[in-house]
Structure formats: C-alpha cells, structure tokens
Amino acid sequence: IYLSICLSYITYGPFDPILHDKVQFPSLYQVAPRFSSLPWGMVRLMVHFDDMKGERFLWDLTREMIPSGKFNLYIAQGIYSSVTATSAAVMAAYGDAGSLNLLRFVIENFGLFKMVLITTLHWDFILSMTYETNSYDFHGTLTLANHAKDVPGFRDFLRTLKPAKYPEAIILKEFWESAFDCSLSLPEKSGIKCSENASLEMLPVHLFSLTMSALSYSVYNAVYAVAHGLQDLLPGASSLAGNISAGTGSRCLVRLHEFLSKVQFDNTVGEPVFLDENHRSTAKFEILNFVISPNGTCELVKVGEMDSQAPLTKMLSSVNAYFVSGTVLSTGAPRSWCNRSCGPGFRKRAQQGEAVCCYFCVRCPEGEISNQTGRCQCVKCGEDQYSNMERHGCLHKAVTFLSHKEPLGLILVCTSLSFSLLTALVFGIFIKHRDTPIVRANNRNLSYTLLLSLMLCFLCALTFIDQPTPASCLLRQMAFGVVFTMAVSSILAKTFPVVLAFRATSLGSRVRRWVGPRASTSTVLSCSLVQVTICMIWLGTAPPFLEVDVHSEPRLIIVECNEGSVTAFYCLLGYLGVLALVSFTVAFLARRLPNSFNEAKFITFGMLVFCSVWASFLPAYQSTKGKAMVAVEIFSILASGAGLLSCIFFPKCYVIPLQPNRNTWEWLKRK
C-alpha cells in the first residue's frame, strides 16, 4: 500500500532483506511477520519434541547454515541421496514452491516418503501437488502458517461473490472462467456458458478456500492500520483536501510516522495489532497438520500455535498431544538415528562428516565399562577392579602372589626342603666321618661352612614363597646375598691355598702362611664382610618395601616386594658374580694338580654350573613380572646351590659309604 499523501509505505507480506535498511527506508512498515522468523519457528517446533541436546544442535545448525546461503545448493545437489538413503525421521523443507519441485519429483518416483516433513511453504502448492499426484507421501506433514482468523462476514461475502455482481472486476471474471472451465460470454463465442448458480464454495479446496488465508489476514490488518492512522491524522474526511492544499505534507508525514511506529489497536476479530521497534509485526504462527483421508480428501488440522512474544517455556504451550490417526506423529515424537543405539559395553564414536546422530559403536577398552545404552564415554573401573568380558560391569581383581598352595609354589617348596634335607644328610655324613682322610684332606672346617651355607641357601628360597610382608621384604634379598657369598668365598678359600701349596717350595716361607687355617677363615670372613657392608648401605639408603601393584596385570593385584634401590640389588649380584668368577678361575688353574690331594676338578664343574645359572637369571628376571619373577629367582637359587652340592660333595659321598677302601691314607699316598 503506497500512501502518496504522506510518503509512507506499509507492506503486508515478506520483503527483500535490503528493505530492512532504516536509513534508506525510514517509513517502511511490515504488518506481516518477517520471513526470517520462519526458520526460528521450525527450530522451535523440532525442539519441542526433543531434549536440550537437540536444542543445542539445532541452534548450532541454524547459526552455521543460514548465514552461509548454501542451503538450497545442498538440497539441489544431494536431495536424492538425502531422501532415499537417510534414516532421518524428520526433514525440514525451507524455501519457495520452485525449490521444492525437485523434492516432489524424488518423492513421486523413488518410493514412499516415511519422514515427517516440516515446511513453511504456501499450502496452495502442497495441496495442488497432492491432488495432482493422488499421493499420500505428504500425509502427516507439519507446516508453519502465519496466524490468521476468519473476519466476520468474510465467508458470507465470498459465498455471494459473483462476476455478475461486480462486472467491473476483470480479474474476478478471468479467475471465474479458469476455475469453472466455462465462459461468461455468449455460447456462440467460446466454450460452455458458466452456470448462474455457480459459487466459490463449489470449488475444491486446492483451487479456492473460503477460509481467510494468512496473506489476506495480513492485508486486512495493514488496511486497518492505515485506516486508524488516517483517522487519527485527519479526524474529518472533509478536511483531507484542505490539509493537503495547505501544504501541510511534512506535518502530515511526521504525525503519520508517529502513529504507525506506535500503532496498537484491536481489529474486528478482537486480536491486538502492533509493531516492534523495527517497524515489524511480531511473529505468530499456527501449526497445521496436513491429512489426506482414504477417499482423497485433504484437510488442514490445527494442532497448535506459536508466539515469539511468549516466554520460552510457553511458546508452544498450545501444541496438542494428539495428532490425527495414521500420521507418523500419532505414535509419538520421531527419533532419527543412523544406526541402532549402542548397548551396554559400547560407546559412541562420531562419524567424520556426518550428523551428530550418526556414530560408530566402539567396544569399551580393557578396564572401562558402560552399563547404560547410548553412552558417549566409557567409565573407568576402580584401581582394584577390572571390566568383565561384556564391558558392562566391574569385577574385583584377585590378589596374587607365589603361594605354596598352587602347583608351582608347592613344587618349589618341596624342592627347597628336599635339597635342604639332602644337604643336612651330607653334612651328617661328613661329621660322622670327620677323621677320615677324604674329609680331612680338603679342610673339613671349610667343608662344614660350605655345607651349612648351602643348606641356608635352600632354606632362604622359602622366604620368597607366600604373601610377602614388610619383614620378609627386608630380609630375603639380604639373606640370600650374604649366605651365597659365604658359600662362594668358602670355595675360594678351599682352592686358593691348594694352588699356593704347590708353589710354596719355590716361593719360600712367606707364601706358606697363606695356606694355613687362619688364612682360609680370614678369606671367608673378609669376603662376607664386604657383602654385609653392601647390604647395610642398601638398607640405610633405599630399603626394600612391600608394594601392591594394580597396573601391571589388568585382572590381578600383585603383592610383591619392591627392591627399593635397583642399583643396590645389582651391586649385590655383581659382587657375588665377581667372587664366582675368581673362584672358577682359581679352580680351573688347580685342575691339573694330583687328584688325591684336591677337588679342583669338581669345584670347576660346580662353579661352571653356578655361573651359567646366574648369567641366565639376569635376562629372565628382567623380562618377567609378578610371581613369575619370584619363581625365576627361586629357581636360580635352587639350581645354583644344587650344582655346587652335587659337583663338589656327591663324589665324596659316593666314596665314603660305598668304597671305604679308597678312604685310607695308604690309598691316597699310592695315588
């Protein structure tokens, strides 16, 4: 409506965004809701059937897509795959009738359309399309229409409206002939003559509706706004020409702008009409459900309203919970998923480039669970728990250590006790035959010390079995190191004097003092004292302690002894290794001496076994954990001790009880 009198413009429909510029168009007023309110209304409608997660997603989607201006481009390029391949339950169609023609083509030619369509298109297009195709694909569609109400007398006016009543209305005449497919002129001129009883209410609803449309309602309100403005501006119709001729155009313009910018009145329907600070009418929509009956009759059922001025929680307060039977929404709010929901034991992982409802179901890793459906993250079990095979529950970890009740522990205990008893038996044989030449020939006191040390070594292995305690952690490595040092130093004290004894005649009396009993005792004590010193330093700096390991094994809690200082532990082993190498070297040098007077050959074999066992121990010890590591150390203790016992003492035990004739001085002198 263009008012040339006061240079003001009032529009009753959506207009180009350029016209929003109030600098260029300060006196442009929009009575109909602005077109950009339609996306807002669509979002609010979809949010009504979703939770806050959907609301955040839809707002983000709207914020990213609308400014880009590429929404129609995406529809044009991907509509076939979007409609036919997607598992979405709701589709929002936003645009004019032309942009939806491609969607219409896809729906008609590629199967039944099973999504809920939410659109803002003019319903004359939808109705026409449905009647032309006789299809139920749009059955259940929801649309947002500008709010409208029937004006009193409007329907009666349309019922009585005929070209004969208004012969000057050329447009009405042309519409009548087209709608009824007849001619108002004489029959001899063209076609069938229109019936005098024809009326607009006889036309199908997709051609003409007696209900006032939203556009007509906006025109109605726009005309009333102008009428109210002119009435306020010019109280008397007779003064209109006088005011204009008097040159009061500028005053007229200012007064009309003042009224239109603050227009607020109730129309004949009783609804308030007003504009906001941007000269626009507030957005108010009706939510319509499009239904096609089995006989092909179309109907628009109003299911709710939407008011942008209402509080957020009441914008859709009048949406009905009931929808027409047979539509998708009659069974509840639809849910769109690209795949089935992830069950317990799985979590969601987003698919790159897909919607947020498209994801992979990824099994929870070891130690994590998900006990609910549709979890985005797995929950870690406690440190003393592990996840079950299904990954939907946490189980308590079993406490593990090398126990004498399990087969491996029982075997090691029996082996340790057996070797201890065997060593005690050999010790008893040596004590019983302590005055025989074979016992006395190789320093029986050192033999006693060696046997006692070996027996303690075998018993020391028992401290590594069963659940460790703080006391056992402190003692077991120290005891093992000191006892084995005594055993190896006893062997060194047995072989070293033999080598010197055969060289004493050439080296003089100064060498002879190193082959006496005192020298052997001093060797054992001094070597053992060094190892004791290492152990004391270890205890004083970083002593071993009890440790509960919950990380090494996913399903076990390992109770073990932490060595405290790895350096000190390897110093203990290193010193023991040096003594073993020295003893092996000395025994190897003495192997060619007369057999009757020394046991160097047997000691050489024993030390060879000892060194081989402990050389293999280091890599095996480093590569194992938990009770396997403890078992490796116990095996090394037992194997090395058994090697010394069997190589050094078994030959003598064979001679003493079974060949007593060889255990005489005459036999030794003859040899």
Angle of CA points 622, 627, 630, to nearest 5° = 60
Contact, 89 vs 328, CB < 8 A?
Answer: yes
Q: Is the pLDDT of residue 631 over 50?
A: yes
Residues 124 and 182 in one domain: no
**On the CB side of 479, how many CA atoms lie within 13 Å of its CA?**
18
Q: Does residue 240 lie in a domain region?
A: no
Categorize the per-residue pLDDT at 57 as very low, low, confident or very high, splitting at 50, 70 and 90: very low
Residues 132 and 273 in one domain: yes
Contact, 416 vs 458, CB < 8 A?
Answer: yes
Residues 230 and 366 in one domain: no
3-state SS, one letter per residue, for 592-610: CCCCCCCCHHHHHHHHHHH
Range of the domain at 650: 407-666
Which residues, 6+ apart, have CB-to-CB distance to 100 below 8 Å? 93, 119, 121, 125
| 81/292 Cα distance (integer angstroms) | 27
Q: Does residue 246 lie in a domain region?
A: no
User: Which residues share a beta bridge with 239?
Assistant: none
Q: Does residue 241 lie in a domain region?
A: no
pLDDT of 106 reads 66
Strands 264-266 and 272-274: antiparallel
Q: Where are the beta strands (DSSP E) in 89-205?
A: 90-93, 116-119, 142-146
Residues 144 and 160 in one domain: no
Mean confidence (pLDDT) of the chain: 76
User: Which residues share a beta bridge with 306?
Assistant: 285
Q: Kindly compute the dihedral angle of the four CA atoms of residues 353, 359, 363, 368, in this order, to the nearest 10 degrees.
A: 90
pLDDT in tens, 8-43: 555 555 555 555 666 666 666 655 555 555 555 656
Distance of CA 149 to the CA centre of its chain: 52
Q: Is the pLDDT of residue 546 over 60?
A: yes
Q: Is the pLDDT of residue 591 over 90?
A: no
pLDDT of 571 reads 94
Q: Does residue 331 lie in a domain region?
A: no
Q: Is the pLDDT of residue 61 over 70?
A: no
Residues 642 and 554 in one domain: yes
Contact, 252 vs 262, CB < 8 A?
Answer: no
Residues 281 and 416 in one domain: no
| 499/519 Cα distance (integer angstroms) | 14
Q: Does residue 245 lie in a domain region?
A: no
**Considering only CA atoms, which of 116, 144, 134 is closest in space to residue 327?**
116
pLDDT of 412 reads 95
Residues 356 and 305 in one domain: no
pLDDT of 54 reads 43
Contact, 452 vs 459, CB < 8 A?
Answer: no
User: Which residues share a beta bridge with 280?
Assistant: 30
Q: Does residue 643 lie in a domain region?
A: yes
Which of 358, 376, 396 represents a domain boundary (last residue)? 396
Which of 295, 325, 355 represents a domain boundary (last residue)? 325
Contact, 285 vs 146, CB < 8 A?
Answer: yes
Residues 640 and 650 in one domain: yes
Contact, 456 vs 501, CB < 8 A?
Answer: no
**Considering only CA atoms, which of 19, 31, 5 is closest in space to residue 256?**
5
Helix axes 52-68, 37-48, angle to 10 degrees: 160
pTM of the model: 0.55
Residues 480 and 585 in one domain: yes
- How buried is 637 (Cβ within 10 angstroms: 0-12 exposed, 13-18 middle, 19+ buried)? buried
Any idea what the CATH number is for the domain that residue 570 is in? 1.20.1070.10
Which of 369, 396, 423 represents a domain boundary (last residue)? 396
The predicted model gives 346-353 an average pLDDT of 84
The predicted model gives 75-99 an average pLDDT of 61
What secondary structure does DSSP assign to 272-327, as a single string? Answer: EEEB-TTSEEPPEEEEEEEEE-TTS-EEEEEEEEEETTS-GGGTTTT--S---TTS
| 28/450 Cα distance (integer angstroms) | 115
pLDDT in tens, 191-238: 688 888 888 888 877 678 788 877 788 888 888 887 777 777 666 544
Helix, strand or coil for residue 51?
Answer: coil
Helix, strand or coil for residue 97?
Answer: coil
Contact, 104 vs 117, CB < 8 A?
Answer: no
Residues 650 and 570 in one domain: yes
Contact, 126 vs 119, CB < 8 A?
Answer: yes
pLDDT in tens, 417-476: 999 999 999 999 888 888 887 777 777 888 899 999 999 999 999 999 999 999 999 999
Q: Does residue 367 lie in a domain region?
A: yes
Any idea what the CATH number is for the domain that residue 295 is in? 3.40.50.2300
| 129/206 Cα distance (integer angstroms) | 9
pLDDT of 241 reads 42
Residues 450 and 577 in one domain: yes
pLDDT of 600 reads 78
The count of domains in the chain is 4
Strands 28-33 and 280-281: parallel
Residues 288 and 189 in one domain: no
